[in-house]
Amino acid sequence: MNLEFIGSVAAGGGAPAFESPMAAVARSAGATLELRGGWLVPATFPDRDAQSRAIAETVGFADVSSIAKTELQISTESVLSLAGGLTLGSAIARDGAWWCPLTPHRALVLGARPQLVEGDGLAVLDVTPQFCALRLEGPLVRRLMASFCALDLREAVAPVGSLRPGSVARTPGLLLVEAPQRLLVLVGAALSEYLWMVVADASARLGGRPVGSDLLSAGVSARREEPANA
C-alpha cells in the first residue's frame, strides 16, 4: 500500500511517524503536532479554556485520523454475526472499538484492532491511511452537520450508535453517532483538507472552533458496549 500521500517523518531517530492528512491545515490554524500511536496529530491548540468552552457551549472538532481503521471481509459467513451480532445501520462498542457493519460481508472496526486471525474466508485489512476522521462534540453538533450534510441526524432518528453512510459535504462519507452530542465523521484521506475547511467555516458561524485531539480522545471507552437498538 502506498502511504506517500500521508507523509512520514522520523520520530526521534526511530521508526517513521505517519503525519495526519489534516496536519498542514491544522498547523495553519495554530495546532501543535505531537506523536500519538505512531502518528503526528494536532494534539493541542492555543487557549485550552476557549476550546473547553466551545465543546461545552457550541461545538468543537478534532482531527482523529490516527484512529485505527480495520476492514473485515467475510465471504463464507455473514459479518453480522461478529461482535455478538451487528445490525446494518447501527454500530456496537466492544473491546475498545466501534464495530460498524457496512454490508452483509464487510465491516469497519474503528479503534482497538480486533484480535482476529485471517482464514476460512475472513480477510483483515488495515485501512487506516485511506480515511481521515474528525470527531465533533458540543450541544450544536447536529445543527452544525445539518448545514453541510444531507443525512437526517435528528436525535429521534439517529440515536447513539447510529451508523450513517452518505453525502458529507458533497462527498461520500461515513458518520457514527458516538454520544448524543458527539459524532465521528470519516471521508477519503484525499479530501481531508476540504472536510476540515468545510467544518471550520460552518463551526465558526456557530461560535465553534478546532480543538486538540487530546480533548476528544476517549470516544469508545466511555460508551456502553451494546447496540443502539438493544
Residue pair 210/31 in contact by the 8 Å Cβ criterion: yes
The strand ranges marked E within the chain are: 8-10, 16-19, 32-36, 39-44, 60-63, 69-74, 92-94, 97-103, 106-111, 122-126, 131-137, 163-168, 171-179, 182-188, 209-210
pLDDT of residue 213: 85
User: For 162, which DSSP code?
Assistant: B
Residue of 58, 64, 63 lying closest to 204 (CA atoms): 58
User: What phi and psi values does residue 149 have, to the nearest 5 degrees?
Assistant: -130, 135
Predicted confidence pLDDT, tens digits, the chain (230 residues): 333 333 444 444 455 578 889 999 999 999 999 887 788 888 889 999 999 999 999 999 999 999 999 999 986 566 667 766 778 889 999 888 999 999 888 899 999 998 888 877 789 999 999 999 999 999 999 999 999 998 999 999 999 999 999 999 888 999 999 999 999 999 999 999 999 999 999 999 999 999 998 887 654 443 444 444 43
Look up the pTM and report it: 0.85
Q: Rounded to whole angstroms, how far apart are CA atoms 164 and 189?
A: 18
pLDDT of residue 45: 92
User: What phi and psi values does residue 57 have, to the nearest 5 degrees?
Assistant: -110, -30
Question: How many CB atoms sit inside 10 A of residue 218's CB?
Answer: 10
179-207 per-position pLDDT tens digit: 999 999 999 999 999 999 999 999 999 99
pLDDT of residue 164: 94
Residue of 11, 57, 17, 5 lying closest to 211 (CA atoms): 57
pLDDT of residue 14: 52
Residue pair 42/212 in contact by the 8 Å Cβ criterion: yes
pLDDT of residue 79: 65
CA dihedral 60, 65, 67, 72 (to 10 degrees): 130
Residue pair 123/72 in contact by the 8 Å Cβ criterion: yes
Q: Rounded to whole angstroms, how far apart are CA atoms 26 and 43?
A: 10
Residue of 168, 216, 192, 218 lying closest to 26 (CA atoms): 192
pLDDT of residue 74: 83
